[in-house]
Structure 1
């Protein structure tokens, strides 16, 4: 008997909508043995080709006209407030209720991309991701997710004996804490340019440049006008000592931030790191003092010491998270 025939599963329309691409797919089944969603009819369209999300979805639905999904979950890179969704980079805006009626959906959820990451976390494939820090995950405890990209995102999957839900947060705007003398010197330099030195001030695409300028000042070197890609390239080629020190500090210091968030979320179920930057710095991250700094939390060091940390390199995270959001709420 096929997986599809063995259990009744109403297909879930899922989407991952960002500034560059709008990805759509159908979740056609859930494989309990593998703890994985079956993703089919995966299709990606350039967001700039469409004037609205409605237009993009209509194009996708025309490619699967024999299937009429009645439930959908959209993961979007933008704020959702009072049932209104704004995709700032695209100038797209829509009302969740109007969207639901337009497509004749019985169920529609719209979540942000880091909420999707949190929902996806129990369904990730260990073989496709990288262990940064081993530990003992409590299967009934909260899971934290975080990551630097264009900004810094953080969220928590809250698990109780009876249910799961996602706590979205503005963890990227927490004040960045210094743990050692170098951190303190860097924050002193960063404050000259930034009124509030937050986690995102350093741990984001633009943040790498901020950290490089501060590192140059601390080392008494004149900073060059470099972007994050140039800093990474010069660090990896060995041509720039300050660039190399910047990326090493980035990997060390994010360990302390990850440990802080793990404590704040009570993430004994594990911490997952994603975003666009760290997967490209994988070997440097694994060679860094991340694990040491993650665990160094004074009287709570034993607590953080048992938490596993995983670098997520697997594809389709927002689609898996969108599926999990609806699957868990039935």
Structure 2
């Protein structure tokens, strides 16, 4: 019987899984630098599962996917989609951006795979959005169409940062002076945490003891540093305002999700923060966003799940 596989390809690791009747199976992780090319590691995965014959797959990869040639941003791997499909003897091979896969995972996540922040109830098949503070700020939208779920790509992480309160204005001024422009990514990312910390330290005339987001976050959560705690507090507020703006723009009645590699490190802090208050603080449109739920993605395999959802939808549609 022919099988399908999925892969979540980052700059450091590649994780592969087989699609089984009840979800993902045979999940394995490999170190990218141990392999000269992507076909070698995928073939090794196939060789380790000789009882299965793979005929299709989907790769979710951390780089732009705009044509047949794919070149990773933070790793040396580059390949032709068509040549890779032939090398691996596959009937179907899809290559999508990793954040596209994140978006496709959202409709299939269950309650135990997310953490809800505040109130709100998702509407079935309502528009959904996800943003992910990490190295940068990824933003993706997904909407239901006559042919199934469809992502709406864009560069939402690079929109203007819109300050709401006096502390936001301090940060905005710091970024204007430093870069000549304040974008959302410069406050909602790893370096965004550092930017907020530096702006508050400058305003308070206190020395900067930390220079990376992990140290600032740890010092905030331990109560070791007041400025670090204020930084994380403002980070959560800014995320809330940004999420509320997406909700207004896209009528995201299916919910707003937070992914990325940062926010799920301090889930409890976000729950107790002003995130949801800022999400709902939309003046006369407060009623519009109040019923929209907001979630943190707690499922570590959501990239693989999204690639599987994409593959299932597209293979089914191609056989009709």
TM range (shorter): over 0.9
Is 2:164 the partner of 1:173?
Answer: no
Aligned residue in 1 for 2:46? 61
Is 2:103 the partner of 1:118?
Answer: yes
Q: Residues 16 and 24 of structure 1 are in contact (CA less than 8 Å); yes or no, is this contact kept in structure 2?
A: yes
CA distance 1:41–1:319, shift in 2 (3 Å): same
> Structure 2 length normalisation: TM-score?
0.94
Aligned residue in 1 for 2:234? 249
Q: Residues 46 and 54 of structure 2 are in contact (CA less than 8 Å); yes or no, is this contact kept in structure 1?
A: no
Question: Deviations for 1:195-252, whole angstroms, at most 9, x for unmatched residues?
Answer: 3211111111122111100111222323335211111122222221111100111011
Q: Distance in 1 between matches of 2:169 and 2:274?
A: 17
Q: CA deviation at 1:10?
A: 5.2
Q: Secondary structure at the residue paired with 2:139?
A: strand
Greater Cα offset, 81-90 or 12-21: 81-90
Question: Deviations for 1:254-310, whole angstroms, at most 9, x for unmatched residues?
Answer: 100111122222211111111111111111101111111111122322111111011
Aligned residue in 2 for 1:271? 256
Once the two structures are superposed, the pairs formed by residues 133-144 of structure 1 within 5 Å of their partners are: 133-144=118-129
Aligned residue in 2 for 1:34? none
Greater Cα offset, 224-233 or 309-318: 224-233
Runs of 4+ in 1 over 4 A off after TM superposition: none
Greater Cα offset, 259-268 or 112-121: 259-268
Q: Secondary structure at the residue paired with 1:78?
A: coil
Q: Secondary structure at the residue paired with 2:231?
A: helix
Aligned residue in 2 for 1:281? 266
- Structure 1 counterpart of 2:83, from 81, 98, 101: 98
- Structure 2 counterpart of 1:183, from 168, 182, 192: 168
Q: Distance in 2 between matches of 1:222 and 1:309?
A: 36
The CA RMSD over aligned residues, in Å, is: 1.5
Q: Residues 21 and 45 of structure 1 are in contact (CA less than 8 Å); yes or no, is this contact kept in structure 2?
A: yes
Q: Distance in 2 between matches of 1:195 and 1:102?
A: 48
Question: Deviations for 1:79-123, whole angstroms, at most 9, x for unmatched residues?
Answer: 112222121221111111111121122211111111111101111
Q: Distance in 2 between matches of 1:111 and 1:190?
A: 33
Number of aligned residue pairs: give it.
Answer: 315
Aligned residue in 1 for 2:19? 27
Q: Secondary structure at the residue paired with 2:54?
A: coil
Q: Distance in 2 between matches of 1:306 and 1:272?
A: 14
Aligned residue in 2 for 1:73? 58
Aligned residue in 2 for 1:261? 246
Q: Residues 2 and 52 of structure 2 are in contact (CA less than 8 Å); yes or no, is this contact kept in structure 1?
A: no
Q: Secondary structure at the residue paired with 2:5?
A: strand
**Structure 2: tracts of 5 or more residues without a match:** none
Q: Residues 274 and 312 of structure 1 are in contact (CA less than 8 Å); yes or no, is this contact kept in structure 2?
A: yes
Once the two structures are superposed, the pairs formed by residues 155-166 of structure 1 within 5 Å of their partners are: 155-166=140-151
- Structure 2 counterpart of 1:41, from 26, 50, 56: 26
Q: Distance in 2 between matches of 1:21 and 1:207?
A: 24
